[in-house]
Structure 1
């Protein structure tokens, strides 16, 4: 997992060792997921089922004045609950496979958190692409400002991952993991979802960047706050 220095190699800095260990954790999770495809299949199945159920139940909405807000709310609800099925596995699989102790010895806590964060972000970005494409095709959603729409999806996903990665570490040893993950995550994610829904509605309307900049800044600030808090708390959670 870690490179062995040689006589001709340059001395590595603590930061390079940290990021190297985090990248090794990320690659390990990607290889493990490609072998089992548990999280990918669960997330994709839930996203497809949710969007298809919404499209069959509601059909293409064309008459409501609040149509962009309705579409934005449905989109983020689908992303949130699909994410709950996959992101909780970040640390649960380590406990189930009895590899958590080896991971604690192989990498520092901060590297483990960053590696798991990168893996969850990759998984969530794939979910965003799939869910957004299904919404556009099945519900005939009109995206007025595609660039702002993509930026808000990315910012909201960053915040979602920053919060849920720490929660996944907390519930890894619990007996009722799925329910506990949702219960602990929702209070942290409720403010983020409100801002993300309103900002996404503006992007669907085709609003200018001047109107969409405020919710984007709030999402990024919320993400930074959650990320910094997780950096301070993860060591205690992981080593407990």
Structure 2
């Protein structure tokens, strides 16, 4: 299975580096959003709690702009049926999930330092912030991947993807904001507060449910 996952993941990676569709979409959206927010606020004082919410809004909506393409490109290239013949559903799902995790990780590496620099504030607890972003990455990718598979054959994919994804990803966003608020304001906050436990538990539930449902969605 690991070999199948690697082959499929490498295929998506090669296709993306050729077209750069998802990478361009996610980075362009995030930079434009960050620039617009920064320009709107200007030199006004803004609390760290609000900054935490703004950071996660940029992350979530940037992720939504890219995740929907992961199965759509298979339908557009008419390679979905070929995938069904050569690979089992589980390796397909895991390879797509890994690709989305990598994509979102690259976004976080770029956008988080830019966000901190743009608003010129100090992160009090860096390990807590990194852990919350990592777990948030896993949750967003799991939810986004299964919804992308669900709407791949729909006619109005863009609107449908956002409508279906947002309720699933909202808990990740809410808990992520809470953890980021602690990281921005409390230097002595624990690395594993209740928010991290809740985020980890939701990631496990979301990943398990997505993995179980994908077989039915993919073969429908």
Structure 1 length normalisation: TM-score?
0.88
1:219 aligns with 2:184: no
Q: CA distance change for structure 1 residues 58 and 100 in 2, over 3 Å: closer, same or farther?
A: same
Q: Say which is worse superposed, 114-123 or 184-193, in terms of deviation.
A: 184-193
Q: Which residue pairs with 1:11 in the alignment?
A: none
What is residue 156 of structure 2 aligned with on the other side? Answer: 176
Give the corresponding residue for 2:176.
Answer: 196
Q: How does 1:48-127 map to 2 (within 5 A)?
A: 48-62=31-45, 64=46, 67-127=47-107
2:127/2:191 contact within 8 Å kept? no
1:2-13 maps to which residues of 2 (within 5 A)?
none
> Residues 96-131 of structure 1: CA distance to partner in whole angstroms, max 9, x if unpaired?
011111111111000000000000000001111221
- Please report how far the alpha carbon of residue 212 of structure 1 lies from its aligned counterpart in structure 2 after TM superposition: 5.0
Distance in 2, Cα, partners of 1:238 & 1:141 = 45
Distance in 2 separating the partners of 1:23 and 1:204: 37
The answer to whether the 8 Å contact 1:166/1:230 transfers is: yes
- Cα shift at 1:231: 1.3
Q: For residues 19-38 of structure 1, what are the structure 2 equivalents within 5 Å?
A: 19-38=2-21
Superposed CA deviations along residues 57-113 of structure 1, whole A, max 9, x for unmatched, are 102553x5xx12101110110011111111111100000011111111111000000
- Figure out how many residues of one structure are paired with residues of the other and give that number: 220
Residues 80 and 136 of structure 1, relative CA distance in 2, 3 Å threshold: same
1:156 correspondence with 2:136: yes
Is the contact between residue 48 and residue 181 of structure 2 (CA under 8 Å) also seen in structure 1? yes
Instruction: Name which one, 1 or 2, has greater alpha-carbon Rg.
Output: 1
Q: TM-score, normalised by structure 2?
A: 0.96
- Alpha-carbon deviation of 1:141? 2.8
TM-align CA RMSD: 1.3
CA distance in structure 2 between the partners assigned to 1:129 and 1:59 by the alignment: 24
| Contact 1:25–1:115 (CA under 8 A) maintained in structure 2 | yes
- Out of 198-207 and 215-224, give the one that drifted further: 198-207
Deviation, 1:137, is 1.4
Gaps of 5+ in 1: 1-17
Inter-CA distance 61–200: structure 2 relative to 1 (3 Å threshold): farther
User: CA 1:201/1:35 → structure 2, altered by over 3 Å: closer, same or farther?
Assistant: same
In 2, distance between residues paired with 1:111 and 1:61? Answer: 49
How far the C-alpha of 1:209 sits from its partner, in A, is 4.2
